[in-house]
Amino acid sequence: MVTTRDLRERADDEPITMLTAYDAPTAEIVDEAGIDVILVGDSMGNAVLGHDSTLPVTVEEMHSRTAAVARATEDALVVADMPFLSFGVDEADSIENAGRMLKEADADAVKLESGPHTVELTRRLAELGIPVMAHLGLTPQHVNQLGGYQRQGTDPEAAERLLDLAREHEAAGAFSLVLEHVPANLAEQVTDALDIPTVGIGAGPETDGQVLVITDVLGLDEWSPPFSKQYADLRGAMSDAVTAYREEVERGEFPAAEHSHVEDDVDDVY
């Protein structure tokens, strides 16, 4: 089974692979494929719950989805994303919410969309034995403050702030760092400056690992971000399958004889 220590030790040897999953069947497939880390991301808001952003995702939804993923996972490290306003408002509530993901939902770690306000919380969680994956760059929970999903760290001042925050979260005890939608050359500098592994999404090839949203990888959405890649067209395959089912039912071809059974003893019920 992959541990946080494994990730720190492996970062210099081979790239870390990470994907999101939000249910047991998907998690089982991802785990069996040998992915190192499964993130139960608050991206579920957009990807599977029908919201326009990640903001409506609740602690209970994250708890339920994390537990489902954990039940289906044998080897991968399971990381629970902490939803909007579930942390950073009150320390006691933040610790309780994060702790539930490990104690009740069987996650191995939590991820925090990070900033100056999460440095001390990261330190406190680490002290209590709750591993923290930090997340800098584009942080979708701050979409209203950022004014959209634009690239981050694109000028020297912003890049320096991001690097400083990365170092502060490492010093506070974060075991890894996600870098989202930042210039590749900045991500490379952050990776070189840290001892903990970095995992990029839209951050170029020089991070210690990569993460993508599973619905983008599988081609389940009509649109995916420019830094993503579709490795299949499951949306098309699912559409074809559902259409074929409808047509067979309408033509009376399904269910066929092999899909039914007959009991002679019930011939004379009427």
Cα dist. 209→187, 188, 214 in Å?
11, 12, 16
Among the listed residues 28, 180, 247, 258, the single catalytic one is 180
Q: Where are the beta strands (DSSP E) in 157-233?
A: 176-180, 198-201, 209-212
User: Is 180 an annotated catalytic residue?
Assistant: yes
Q: Is the peptide bond before 205 cis (omega within 30 degrees of 0)?
A: no
Burial class of residue 24 (count of CB atoms within 10 Å of its CB; 0-12, 13-18, 19+): middle
- What SS3 string covers 42-83? CCHHHHCCCCCCCCCCCHHHHHHHHHHHHHHCCCCEEEEECC
The set of catalytic residues is 180
